């Protein structure tokens, strides 16, 4: 597995794994604090960003027609997002009250919008990194991504929730989870 990754792609693979982990964190934070419709709309800005990032980083040319379609698409997503003012409020998670500590206010009112802005950018950059990793087997890339997820997610889960989460699932649930992980990584 280690020999199948060319040395010049080590940093690209590492960046892909780290961005994938942060992308999941930002997405789950958005789902916790915002309506799912808003999160879905903002996430759908990613294809527009992929085109812009490809143009900026790789010099992929955009014709006038491509540029006009991007502008119209972006305007359409903005109209959908801004069409309902109630979607822009933090409607789901714990909002707290005016007596919240400064840290709690930061966690509730600054981090979720920041995650909402980062989610489409991370998704777009992940797609670009995936493009650069085409020479490596998808199975190898998937194994590294799974290992990165374990490294990023297992310590915080164990720290905040202990190992009690293991008992929540039955052995059949764990088997299904393992089989889904194996089949999805080999596709």
Q: For residue range 7-56, list pLDDT tens digits in order.
A: 888 898 888 888 888 888 888 888 888 888 888 888 888 888 888 888 88
Average of pLDDT values for 140-159? 82
Closest CA relative to residue 144, chosen from 133, 155, 156: 133
Helix 111-132 vs helix 36-43: crossing angle, to nearest 10:
40
pTM of the entire structure?
0.67
Whether residue 23 is found in the same domain as residue 57? yes
Residue 137 has pLDDT above 80, yes or no: yes
Last residue of a domain, one of 121, 136, 151: 136
Identify the pLDDT of residue 140. 83
| Tens-place pLDDT, residues 63-102 | 888 888 888 887 887 787 776 554 445 554 444 444 556 6
How far is Cα of residue 134 from the mean position of the Cα atoms in its chain?
20
Phi, psi of 79 (to 5 degrees): -65, -40
Contact 153, 26 (CB under 8 A): no
Confidence category of residue 184, pLDDT binned at 50, 70, 90:
low
Whether residue 101 is found in the same domain as residue 148? no
Identify the pLDDT of residue 106. 66
| Tens-place pLDDT, residues 162-177 | 777 677 778 888 788 7
Identify the pLDDT of residue 96. 46
Whether residue 105 is found in the same domain as residue 141? no
Query: In this structure, what token pair is assigned to residue 167?
Result: 């008992």
Q: Which domain holds residue 177?
A: 137-187
Closest CA relative to residue 19, chosen from 107, 142, 111, 127: 127
Average of pLDDT values for 95-111? 63
Whether residue 112 is found in the same domain as residue 141? no
Whether residue 59 is found in the same domain as residue 143? no
Contact 47, 125 (CB under 8 A): no
Round to whole Å and give the CA distance between 150 and 106. 27
Write b or e for each residue in 25-44: b if 16 or more Cβ atoms lie within 10 A of its Cβ, otherwise e. Answer: bbbebbbebbbeebbebbbb
Q: Which helix or strand (DSSP H or E) is residue 60 part of?
A: none
């Amino acid at each position: 597995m280690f020999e199948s990754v060319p040395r010049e792609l080590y940093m690209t693979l590492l960046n892909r794994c780290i961005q994938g982990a942060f992308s999941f964190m930002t997405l789950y934070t958005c789902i916790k604090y915002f309506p799912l419709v808003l999160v879905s709309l903002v996430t759908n800005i990613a294809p527009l960003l992929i085109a812009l990032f490809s143009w900026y980083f790789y010099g992929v040319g955009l014709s006038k027609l491509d540029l006009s379609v991007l502008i119209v698409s972006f305007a359409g997503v903005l109209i959908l997002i801004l069409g309902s003012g109630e979607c822009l409020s933090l409607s789901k998670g714990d909002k707290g009250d005016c007596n919240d500590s400064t840290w709690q206010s930061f966690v509730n009112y600054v981090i979720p919008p920041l995650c909402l802005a980062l989610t489409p950018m991370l998704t777009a950059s992940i797609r670009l990194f995936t493009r650069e990793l085409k020479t490596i087997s998808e199975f190898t890339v998937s194994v590294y991504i799974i290992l990165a997820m374990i490294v990023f997610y297992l310590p915080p889960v164990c720290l905040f929730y202990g190992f009690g989460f293991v008992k929540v699932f039955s052995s059949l649930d764990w088997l299904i989870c393992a089989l889904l992980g194996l089949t999805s990584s080999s596709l």
